[in-house]
Structure 1
Amino acid sequence: MPLSSQPLRKLGFLTIGLFDGADPRRGHESTLEIIELGERLGFDSAWVRHRHLQYGISSPVAVLAAASQRTSRIELGTAVIPVGWENPLRLAEDLATVDILSGGRLNPGVSIGPPMHYDQVKEALYPGTADLEDFSYERVRRLLGFVRGEPATAFNGVEGFEVFSDRVQPHSPGLGGRMWYGGASLRSARWAGENAMNFLTSSVVKAEESENFAEIQLSHVRAFRAHHPDGDRARISQGLVVIPTDTASSEQRAKYKQYAGKRMPRTTAPQGPARMKFAPDLVGSSAEIAERLHAHAAFQEIDEVAFALPFTFDHEDYVQILTDIATELGPELGWRPASGR
C-alpha cells in the first residue's frame, strides 16, 4: 500500500527489565544483552522503564551507565523517571555523569506526580517532609535548570585545597537538549513544548476531547509542537506495544495472541477517574502492523518511535521480536538501520 506517513527516521525500543527476586543479576544481564543486541541490529535507541519496590529496573540511570560501557553508538533513554522519587540536584549529577561516560548518548525521560502508593511509602521516602514535597512541574523545571547549567548555589571558589562550582558537575553541554517529558495529557504536551523539552507519547493517554486513541494522541502531538520554539521540528517519539510474528514459532504466536487478548478489554473505553485510554497491542506480521501504523493519525505526523516490549515475555521472545522489528517492520516503515545510512 502507498505510504500515508513520512518514512521512519529513528527506531527505538523500550524494555521494563523484569527480574526474579531470587536471582536479580540474571534479569539485569538479560536487559544489558538486549540493549547490546539492539545496537548490533542497527536500532537508534534503547529505553528502560523504572519500577520502584517491584521486580523491574529500580535504578535506570545505573543500568544505563553499565549499558554505556557495553555499547558505542546506540542512544540510551529512560521512559520515564518519575521525579517525585528523586532529588532534582542529585539526579542532575547522575544524568550528567552517565552522559559523559556514554559520549553524549543519554536521553533522559521524566514525568511528574507523587510516587505510586505515596501514602504507604512516604515515610520511608521523605520522613519529616512528606507533606511538604512539591510534585508539580516545578520539580522538573528545577531538574532542567540544573542540567542546563543554572546555578545551584551562591558559593563557588577555593576553600583550602578544594575547588567548588556554583553549578552541577560534571556539566554536559548537550544534555539539556536531550531531555524528554513523558506526557499523557494536553496540559503536559503544552508544558513540555513551552519548556523546550522533547516529548514522549506512549500507549496510554488521557481521554479529554475524544475517546479515539489516535485522535487523542494526535492532539497531543500538535499541541506540543504549537508551543515548542522549534515548532514542527520539535522531537516527538511515539511508544506503542508492537509484536511482529514474522519469525515467531507457533508457541510464541499463541503466547503473543493470548497476551494481547487479555489486555484488549481495557482498550475499549477510558479507564478510571482519570479516564486513561489504552492503545491495543499490535500483533501480527510486519506487513500487517505497518499497514495499521500508516493508518494511525498520530503516527502519520512523527518520524521517531520507541516500540515497547511486552512486560512478561522471555529473553528468547525479546530476541525474536527485536530482530523482526529491525529486519522486517522497520524497512516496511521506511526506516534504515544505522549501518545502512
Structure 2
Amino acid sequence: LKLAPHSPFCAWTFPLLVYISDSPPVPSSQFGLTSINVICWLLPLRAKNFSENKLLLSLANAFSGGVFLSLAFGHLIPECIHGFSELPGERNETLPYMMILFGYLVIFFMEKVAFDHHGLLHDMEAEQKNVMPPSSLDEHSTPENTPPTPNSPTHADATGHSSRSGSRSAVILLGALAIHSILEMAALGLADSFADSALLSLSIALHQPAESIALLVAFLKSGMPKPEIVKFLSAFSVMGPVGVCLGMAVKQVAPPIVDALMLATVAGTFIYVGATEVIPEEWEDQEHKWTKFAALLFGITSIFIITQYTAGLEAV
C-alpha cells in the first residue's frame, strides 16, 4: 500500500504515530502490573497446597530494594530538583529535599505509626499458634497442659476471638498496603517517557508480588472465607489504577509546582520502601546474606546503567 506524502491519511496518522512512540505506555503498563497483582494472590489462593520459593522471593525482594533506591537517587530526585529549578519566581533550595523527606515520613507514619503492618503480621502468626488443633500436640501431654477440645466452649471462644481479631488485623493491613500501592503507582502516572515508564514498571513488578503474597497469607491466617478474601484482595488490586489515575491527573491538570511536589513525595516513598522496608526485612535472616547483597547491588547498578543510557539518548 502506497500513500501520497500529502494525503489526508498521512496528515493525521504520522503525528499520531510519533505521539504514540514518544509517549509512556502507562495504560498497558498498568494493565500488566494489575494482572501480576491479581495472579500473585489468586493462583496461591486457588492452589490446594500454598507454597513458595522463599530464596527466589527473597532475592527478587533484595533486587527490588536496589531498584527502588537507584530510581530514587539516580532518577526521581534529579528530576524533582530539575522541576523545581524551572519554576518561575524565587526558589527555595531546601524545598525539594524537605518534600522528599515529607514523602518518606508519610509512608513511615502509615506503616509504622498508624498501622504497623509488619507488627500485625507477627501478631496474627502468634494468634494462629495459640489456637492449635489437638492433632498437633504431643500425645504424651499431661491433662493440665492439654488445651481445650474443639467441642469445648473455651476452645470455641478462643477460636472465635482469634478469627475476629485476625480478620480485623488483615483489613487494617489491607488499608496500609492500599495507601502504599497508590503512592507507588502514582509515579507511573507521572512518567514522562517510555524509558521512565518501563523502569518504574520493572521496579513495581518485582516488589508487588511480595506485598500481594504477604496480604494473602494474612487473610488466610485470619480464617476468613475464601469468597470474602477474594472481595478484599480485588479491592486492593484496584488501588493500582487509582494511583496511576491520580498521577496522570496531576500531570495533565495541575500546575508544574504540583507535579514537582508529587515527584518529590514519590521519591521519598521509594527511599522508604528500599531503605527502611525491603532491605532491613531481608537481612533479618542472615541466611544467604551474600547472595542477597549481590542481588541488591545488581538492582542498583543495572538501573543506574539503564537510566544513564536513556538520559544519553534523550540528550542526543
Pairwise same-fold verdict (TM > 0.5): no
Q: Which has the higher contact order (CA 8 A, sep 6+)?
A: 2
Decide which structure has the larger Cα Rg and report it: 2
Q: Hey, which of these two has a bigger chunk of helix by percent?
A: 2
TM-score (norm 1): 0.21
TM-score (norm 2): 0.22
Q: Hey, which of these two has a bigger chunk of strand by percent?
A: 1
